[in-house]
Amino acid sequence: MGILSLLLWTPALGVLVLIFAPNQNTQAIRIIANFFSTITLLLSFWILHLYQQNTAELQFNEYFPLNPNLGSAYALGVDGLSMPMLLLGTLLTSIALLASYPRTENVKGYYLSILLLEFGLLGVFLAQDWALFYIAWELTLIPLFFLIGRWGGKRRHAASLNFVLYTMVGSVFMLMSLLAISQYDLQQAGSLMSTMHQAAKDMPRNEQILVLLGFLIGFGVKMPIFPLHGWLPLAHVEAPSPVSILLSGVLLKMGAYGLIRAVNMLPEAVHILQPVLVSLALFGMIYGGLLAWRQTDLKAMIAYSSFSHMGIVLLGIASLNQMGLTGAVLQMTAHGLISAALFLLVGLLYERTHTRNIQDFGGLIHSMPRFALFISLALLGAMGLPGTFGFIAELHALMGGFQQWGVIMILFSITVLINAAYAMRSINLLLLGPDKANKFNLTDLNGREQLAAGILVISIIGLGLIPSPVIELSAATINTMINQISQRLL
């Protein structure tokens, strides 16, 4: 078994072990789930240690034919695009499990669902075969449906159903696009992903546009992009906070990751639809920021800010240049860390107060100084303050957009101002002003909670001050993609 298969199947092995664990022994269940999640995280860091970032070639390849007639295979590999997502996914799964200790209802089913979700998302980022990618993509729906519908808030059933219906409709469009490409002569050398990439070159231009639109809907639902974002606020608000960490931190990135793969396959269609894509990106950034600014529910605010920040990812992808695509990948990673930190801290605050209304708080800097420090840094990262990873990501996306569209990027500046407005408003209402702690029996973060929040916040600040490791991790792959796109557009 190769190291990628070992990484992929470790959470699945954890699921099998948990199935036979006694339902009543919640401590053993937590230990087993955290053990397998930690092993998966360590394996991802070991792969990072072995990964050669100076080459754009797929590494640690594994290939076993499944259906020779179709050309599908159990094909795994990593490159500079999937490597950051693997690290993000395994890290945030471990963080989500650390944040899940207060969970006491149906603990076994909850931890089974988390590990199954990790198995699916790793499959998406490791798959080098479109059939395998699609199976892993659909697999993530099952645990998310139960995690939201079983352990969510008062409107959990509507939220879970809404999420699944949106995503399934998007998946139908994705499947139609994949089937459209498969109608062309697929060479049977290599995985289905590589052969479909070659077949897309032979498609007429109008068919490429239709296929891209199918991918845009399929992946755009999960990112999400306007107007496919309807499921996002309700799902985030009703999901348990550890699930929101994974939903915003990793699951949204699956859509962006898939869209980048599709863009590399259909650059001519992307070039034609560039005005549409940049318009959707800029409108989503401003619209999401304004909606976040209006919210009084803290989780709703973070949900709409995620919608706005994923617009920055779409802007970077649409630019079709090296700087913009680098900004998209950096923003995917930065937003994963920042949104995870915010959902974690808001969830911890909700456990203590049973309210998420920002008007109910004030003066938390006095009663919860450690909480105040962590959430301030996370909010500053969300507004893209220099010295944070969010600033590095947004700067690259802005530069990529300016290279392509010039003065229109003034709309990007409006987004930055809106992000700063709701971030500073949140800091002011939560931490400053009259001390309202007497309404609640508040305690500051304990050691486990400080560990989870500290890892995320240190990553946000550390990668903001020293971003080169993440930039260099993806540089070779992105340069190769841009060269391939440029050759196709000549």
> Which of these, 61, 20, 17, 59, lies nearest to 39 by C-alpha position?
17
- Residue 370: pLDDT band with limits 50, 70, 90: very high
- Residue 38: pLDDT band with limits 50, 70, 90: very high
pLDDT of residue 441: 75
State how far Cα 248 lies from the chain centre: 6
pLDDT of residue 438: 66
Is 374 in contact with 271 (CB distance < 8 Å)? Answer: no
431-456: burial string, b at 16+ Cβ within 10 Å, e else = beeeebbeebebeebeeebbebbbbb
pLDDT of residue 364: 85
Give me Rg for the CA atoms of the chain.
22
Cα distances from 239 to residues 109, 158, 208, 304, 344, in angstroms, run: 15, 11, 37, 15, 12
**pLDDT-wise least confident of 98-102, 279-283, 323-327:** 98-102
* Neighbouring residues of 51: CB distance < 8 A, sequence distance ≥ 6: 59, 78, 83, 473
pLDDT of residue 103: 78
Round to whole Å and give the CA distance between 255 and 275.
Answer: 20
With a pLDDT cut of 70, the percent of the chain lying above it is: 95
pLDDT of residue 343: 93
Round to whole Å and give the CA distance between 191 and 174.
Answer: 18
> Mean pLDDT across the stretch 470-479?
91
Mean pLDDT of the chain: 87
pLDDT of residue 391: 92
> Mean pLDDT across the stretch 339-345?
93
Number of CB atoms found within 10 A of residue 90's CB: 28
Number of CB atoms found within 10 A of residue 320's CB: 22
pLDDT of residue 187: 56
pLDDT of residue 70: 64
Round to whole Å and give the CA distance between 126 and 73.
Answer: 13
Is 477 in contact with 83 (CB distance < 8 Å)? Answer: no
pLDDT of residue 267: 85
The listed range with the strongest mean pLDDT (96-105, 364-373, 414-423, 458-467) is 458-467
Task: Give the domain ranges of the chain.
Answer: 273-490
> Mean pLDDT across the stretch 118-147?
90
> Which of these, 438, 458, 454, lies nearest to 446 by C-alpha position?
454
Position 488 pLDDT exceeds 60: yes
Is 255 in contact with 222 (CB distance < 8 Å)? Answer: yes
Q: Per-residue pLDDT tens for 220-277?
A: 988 888 888 888 888 888 888 899 999 888 988 999 999 998 888 888 888 888 999 9
pLDDT of residue 316: 92
134-173: burial string, b at 16+ Cβ within 10 Å, e else = bebbbbbbebbbbbbbbbbeeebeebbebbbebbeebbeb
> Mean pLDDT across the stretch 101-105?
79
Look at residue 78 and give its three-state secondary structure.
strand
**pLDDT-wise least confident of 141-155, 170-184, 368-382:** 170-184
pLDDT of residue 34: 92
